[in-house]
């Protein structure tokens, strides 16, 4: 039997196509108008010529690019290593905070104090305290490089954020799931590993990735310790030429660096929405 839609169905689909074409046209038109107005405002501004000269100078962009590109590779290395440790420590802290055994109370207390402190403290301060304080202690075997200490500071701060996200995920898993697992004879840790955590991570993937995107861009802050990353390289180039274009180049590279993960996050959220609708939740 071939599919033969009713007249009503055909009319409805036709109307929907018309509406969709109209929406696209309106969106294009409004984007065009907003773009033209904004351009007109900027171009006609009194200092436009000067700003263009000092921020959008192709000559300096080209000249500074190789150094800044070297710098962004350092950022990439730092953030990959930081993300790895942030996920591990974040998970450990989240688990510590959700335990209930009385014997683990000290662990819970430490985890709570840790997240309170590092979620509240500005990253810049943590960078200064770690980057300048630890070398001052003259500890044996601890490297004093700005890159190493900067990465440590990033991990300290972001582990606290990520721990809270994962904790929310763990607490969001329906308690009946734990009960069902315990009733089957699974131990506490088996329940956590095989039943609770897989569901917890699924629930919090979007906010988790959001924090990782944020970490990616904040990896640029290690430049305050003197590490020659993209921002530092841009700063050096600017100091030589008194032209700010290199900063814009670095900024562009950072945006490019974060876009893949941002798009991936959007895609994941859309997919979860779809899966829920397939279950007929709405």
Partner 1 sequence: MGALLQLKNLRKEFGSHLVLDNICLDFSQGSATVVIGASGSGKSTLMRCVNLLEELSDGQIILDGEDISTYGIDLDLVRGKIGSVFQAFNLFPHLTVLENITLAPRLVQKKSKAEAEARAHELLKRFGLEDKADAYPNLLSGGQQQRVAILRAIATGPKILLLDEVTSALDPVLIAEVLSLIAELKADGITMVISTHEMGFAKRIADRVVFLSNGAVLEEGTPREIFDSPKTTELKTFLGALQDAGRL
Rule CB under 8 A: choose which of 24, 177, 214, 240 binds partner 1: 177
Give the residue with the Cβ less far from partner 1, 54 or 190: 190
Does residue 184 interact with partner 1 by CB under 8 A?
A: yes
Stretch in the footprint of partner 1 (CB under 8 A) among 37-45, 77-85, 88-96, 179-187: 179-187
Q: Are 122 and 46 in contact (CB under 8 A)?
A: no
Give the residue with the Cβ less far from partner 1, 23 or 187: 187
Does residue 279 interact with partner 1 by CB under 8 A?
A: yes
Q: Are 123 and 221 in contact (CB under 8 A)?
A: yes
Does residue 181 interact with partner 1 by CB under 8 A?
A: yes
Place of tokens 């304080």: 133
Residue 187 CB, shortest distance to partner 1, in Å, is 5
CA atoms of 207 and 86, how far apart (whole Å):
14
Size of the site for partner 1 (CB under 8 A): 18
Neighbours of 145 (CB within 10 A): 13
Does residue 271 interact with partner 1 by CB under 8 A?
A: no
CA atoms of 79 and 214, how far apart (whole Å):
10
Give the residue with the Cβ less far from partner 1, 125 or 180: 180
Rule CB under 8 A: choose which of 16, 17, 18, 194 binds partner 1: 194
Does residue 268 interact with partner 1 by CB under 8 A?
A: no
Rule CB under 8 A: choose which of 3, 137, 176, 282 binds partner 1: 176
Q: Are 258 and 218 in contact (CB under 8 A)?
A: no
Give the residue with the Cβ less far from partner 1, 182 or 217: 182
Give the residue with the Cβ less far from partner 1, 7 or 281: 281
CA atoms of 27 and 8, how far apart (whole Å):
29
Q: Is 242 left (phi over 0), alpha (psi -120 to 50) or beta?
A: left
Residue 176 CB, shortest distance to partner 1, in Å, is 5
Does residue 190 interact with partner 1 by CB under 8 A?
A: yes
Neighbours of 231 (CB within 10 A): 25
CA atoms of 52 and 76, how far apart (whole Å):
30
CA atoms of 230 and 73, how far apart (whole Å):
8
Give the residue with the Cβ less far from partner 1, 174 or 214: 174
Q: Are 243 and 57 in contact (CB under 8 A)?
A: yes
Residue 182 CB, shortest distance to partner 1, in Å, is 6
Residues found near partner 1 in the complex (CB under 8 A): 176-177, 179-187, 190, 194-195, 198-199, 202, 279
């Amino acid at each position: 039997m071939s599919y033969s839609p009713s007249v009503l169905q055909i009319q409805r689909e036709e109307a929907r196509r018309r509406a969709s074409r109209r929406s696209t046209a309106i969106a294009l038109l409004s984007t065009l108008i907003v773009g033209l107005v904004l351009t007109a405002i900027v171009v006609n501004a009194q200092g436009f010529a000067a700003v263009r000269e000092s921020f959008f100078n192709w000559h300096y962009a080209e000249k500074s690019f190789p150094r800044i590109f070297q710098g962004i590779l350092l950022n990439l290395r730092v953030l990959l290593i930081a993300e790895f440790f942030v996920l591990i420590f974040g998970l450990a802290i989240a688990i510590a905070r959700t335990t209930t055994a009385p014997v683990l109370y000290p662990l819970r207390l430490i985890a709570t104090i840790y997240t309170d402190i590092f979620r509240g403290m500005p990253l810049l301060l943590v960078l200064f305290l770690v980057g300048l304080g630890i070398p001052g202690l003259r500890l044996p075997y601890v490297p004093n490089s700005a890159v190493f200490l900067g990465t440590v500071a990033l991990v300290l701060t972001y582990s606290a954020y990520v721990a809270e996200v994962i904790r929310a995920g763990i607490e969001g898993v329906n308690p009946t799931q734990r009960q069902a697992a315990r009733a089957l004879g699974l131990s506490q840790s088996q329940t956590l590993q095989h039943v609770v955590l897989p569901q917890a991570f699924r629930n919090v993937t979007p906010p988790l990735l959001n924090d990782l995107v944020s970490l990616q861009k904040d990896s640029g802050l290690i430049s305050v310790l003197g590490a020659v990353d993209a921002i530092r390289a841009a700063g050096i180039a600017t100091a030589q030429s008194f032209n700010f274009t290199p900063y814009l180049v670095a900024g562009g590279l950072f945006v490019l660096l974060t876009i893949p993960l941002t798009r991936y996050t959007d895609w994941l959220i859309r997919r979860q929405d779809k899966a829920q609708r397939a279950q007929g939740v709405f």
